[in-house]
Structure formats: C-alpha cells, structure tokens
Amino acid sequence: MTPQPRLARTRAIVLAAGLGTRMKSRLPKVLHPICGRPLIDYVLDAAEAASGSRPLVIWSPPVEAVRDAVASRAETALQAEPRGTGDALAAGLTGLATLAGDAPAELLVLSGDVPLVEADLLDALLAEHRAATAAVSLISVITADPGRLGRVVRDEDGEVERIIEAKDATEDELEIEEINSGLYAFDAGWVRARIGDLRPSAVTGEIYITDLVALARADGRAIGSIQVADDGTLDGINDRAQLAEATFAMQARINERHLLAGVTMLDPTTAHVDASVHLDADVTLEPNVSLRGSTRVAAGTTIGTGSLVVDTLIGRDCRILASVLESSEVEDSVQIGPFAHLRPGSSIGTGVKLGNFAEVKNSRLDAGVQQHHMSYIGDAQVGARTNIGAGTITANYDGKRKKRTTIGADAFIGVDTMLVAPVELGAGARTGAGAVVNRDVPAGKLAVGVPARLRDPRPEPEEPAPG
C-alpha cells in the first residue's frame, strides 16, 4: 500500500502574483536575477528550510512565467487577478486545500520579493508564534526611513493592534517608525475562518493581508511579533534601485562565504560570483571579474582582472587574464590571455598557452599546445605540443557548412597559415609562413605557398657536440 502523502505541520506560502509595476519591466519582478538566480529562489530556499516542506507559490496570469520558473521546486496556486496580498493569501488557502494529505496547522507567509531573508529568522518567527499561541505573528523593523511601507500600530501597552498601509495612513500614523516586513506566521485554522472577512481598502481598492492583524485583535487572539535591526535584510524589492542594493548585499554574502572557505579576493566589492559557482580553496580572484552559472575553479588558479567566465570548468594552477571563457573545459596549469576568447565547446589540455587575441571555438587542444597571438581555431582537434603561429586561421565555414580541421601532435603551423577545412595535418607536419593549406599534409611533411605544395622539411641542424 502506498502511504498517503502527508502535509507537513508547517507550510510556507510565497506571494508572487503582484505586477511589480515599479520595476518597469517585462520580466515579472520576482524573476529578476540576483547573482544568477531568480530572486524568488532565495525566498524559496528560506521557506523550504524553515517549513520543512515544498512551498506554495501564488502566481497570476500577468506573471505566468513565475509559475513555470518555480514548478520544479514548489507547488503553485493561481490568483486569478492580483487584487492585493490578502486576496493572494486567499488563493493560497484554496490551493492548499487541493493538495493531498492533512491540512497544515500553521502557515508561514512570505513576500516573494524579500530575497535576503534567511531561514533562521523564519525559525525565530515560528518559535515566537508558537510561544504566544498567536493567530498571526509578524516581523517588524524599526527604521528612520519607513517610506511606503506598512506601519505597525501598537496600543498603550505596546501590543500590536493593527497594520496601516502608508497609502491609507494619516499624517500621525506615517510618523510611526516601526514597519511591517511582509513576513508572517498564521494559525492555519484561524486564518481559514477569517480570510473571507477581508474588505478592499477604501483608498486603493486592494485587499490587504495586513488587515488580518486587526481581525485577530478583534477576536481577542494573541499577535506575535519580533523586531529586527534595520540592516536592509528584509527590504522588499520594488524597483531597480532596491534590486541593485539587494544584489550588492547578496554578492557580499556569497563572497564572504568564499573568503572564509579560503578564496583570496583582491577586491571583494568587484568580484561578481554567481551563487551557483564553485571555487576551491586557494583560488585567487583579482579585481573586476565575473564568474557565472555552473563555473567551477580548482585550487591554485588565478582569475585575473577583466575576465568573464561562464559555465566553464577550470583546473588547478591556471592563470586567466582579461579573457572571456564560455561553456568550456580547461585542464591544469593553463595560461589564457590577456584578451583570449574560449567559445562554447572548447576543451583545453594541461599546460596549454593561449595568448593575445587567441580565439578557440568547439575545439580540443591537447596538452602543451601553444597559440600565442591573434589566431582562430574553430571545429578543430590539435595534437599535443603543437605550435600555432600568429595569425593562423581555420577557415571552417564555407558559407553553408562547418567543417573540421585535424592537426597531429608536435606540428608547427607557421605564421599566417590558412587551414581550409576539411583538412588534416599529420604528426610533426609543418607549414610555411602565409601557406594556404587546402589539402591534407602527411606526418612530417612541410606545406608551403598559396595554395600550399608539399615538401620534405630541411633536416634540423645537428646539435654541436658538447665540449
């Protein structure tokens, strides 16, 4: 018998159906990336850790992409029209009822736009909520700059009475410096009974989740609250300025983790490292580098100033300077740059040197290959220790199809050689300066001229006997 899936005691609902108009963007607000991940992903991390279950994300048709973006890790529920956070919670409760298993006893409700929130704060909120046997608990922040945020109104005894939205507030209420962070815990049974009693704001016509606080008070139920420092951690993202601030803070958090794990950063404020990047201890990042996506860098490697590395594996003891590396693999002790470009599908063997303006695309360079200056190797296989002279080009495209070039080990490609693919050069083959090679060159042969003709290379001069 298959056991019935059980809903956890705590379920997190993440509100993400709003239009986010202040972002002035075609992309839904919560999908804007921070350090390479949609910002809602960070909220889902915290929600999942604190609730111990798959979060439920509320989306609406204008931001349908949200549903698809979270589908692999969250349940989703539709809010037919984004009529406010209270209506979004109502949609969440309807969605929860359709999930198999027991109904949860308590709910964590989070705004999808608070990416810096961490699970331990949500744990503290749940602890307070349970200790107070509250109907609703919230996290507030004391700030000198309460702006457009909801104000927490307290009675003479300091108990939370209600939350008033800035747009609906009186002059006096706007003076309140304790703001609502948009993170709540609810008694699930209570909120189910009361959600239908929310009424639209007379000022904005929106249905506010925050009005549930006054309803709990009217029911004589306890309201839990914890206050946290105004360090920006709970700032919602509503516009691009706030997005930039949160990105800066998240990057600092990521970089701190790497620094403590043994990565050297000459200037952590200009090291842009996606959340998904893996760096071994003893990696060095110089100023102004960007490491993106699934990039991994092994010990002893330095990523030099002005480098952009995307989805690339880099081995040990490499030195990359002012270069762009995309979707490629680099083995140990490789030197790249300045101003080299690895395009997707490149595989660079141990000890290879790629110098100024070297471009490699979809090619394998075996160990010890040298490609020092201004050349393009595309759709090619290059054997170990082969030297690619300055200005060498693989003419891999005939206007219709890409064709391959194969060069054996220990070959010497003279400066300004044109390798007209498909073409194969054997081990130890050589080309003269300016050769246009449009036929295969057997192992050990020399190709010279335009188009190139084959010759036997002159024998190497004998080493003078020592003496």
Active site residues: 373
Q: Of these, 115, 182, 224, 368, which contacts ligand UD1 (CB under 6 A)?
A: 182
Q: Of these, 74, 93, 96, 209, which contacts ligand UD1 (CB under 6 A)?
A: 209
Least distance CB 181 / ligand UD1 (angstroms): 6
Task: Decide which of Mg ion, ligand UD1, none touches 149; Cβ closer than 5 to 8 Å per partner kind.
Answer: ligand UD1
Question: In terms of Cα–Cα distance, which of 302, 298, 329 is closest to 315?
Answer: 298
Q: Of these, 16, 31, 322, 448, which contacts ligand UD1 (CB under 6 A)?
A: 16
- Residue 190 contacts ligand UD1 per CB under 6 A: no
Separation CA 161–CA 217 (nearest Å): 6
Binding mask 51-80 for ligand UD1 (x = CB under 6 A): -------x--------------------x-
- Residue 17 contacts ligand UD1 per CB under 6 A: yes
Contacts 24+ apart (CB under 8 A), 323-330: 323/354, 328/360
Tokens coding 162: 């209600």
Q: How many residues does the chain have?
A: 467
Contacting residues for 100 by C-beta, under 8 A, at least 6 apart: 4, 5, 7
Comparing every residue's Cβ against ligand UD1, the nearest one is: 150
> Which of 16, 309 has the CB closer to ligand UD1?
16
- How far is the CA of 326 from the CAs of 120, 343, 346, in angstroms? 37, 5, 8
Alpha helices in 137-239 (DSSP H): 171-174, 188-194, 212-218
Separation CA 460–CA 467 (nearest Å): 20
Separation CA 88–CA 191 (nearest Å): 13
Q: Of these, 92, 236, 355, 408, which contacts Mg ion (CB under 5 A)?
A: 236
Task: Decide which of ligand UD1, Mg ion, none touches 95; Cβ closer than 5 to 8 Å per partner kind.
Answer: none
> Which of 236, 315 has the CB closer to ligand UD1?
236
> What type of residue is 60?
S
- Residue 112 contacts Mg ion per CB under 5 A: no
- Residue 150 contacts Mg ion per CB under 5 A: no
- How far is the CA of 458 from the CAs of 63, 320, 375, 431, in angstroms? 71, 37, 26, 12
- Residue 85 contacts ligand UD1 per CB under 6 A: yes
Residues in contact with ligand UD1 by CB under 6 A are 15-18, 30, 58, 79, 82-85, 87-88, 111-113, 149-150, 163, 165, 179-182, 208-210, 236, 238
Residue numbers at the binding site for Mg ion (CB under 5 A): 113, 236, 238
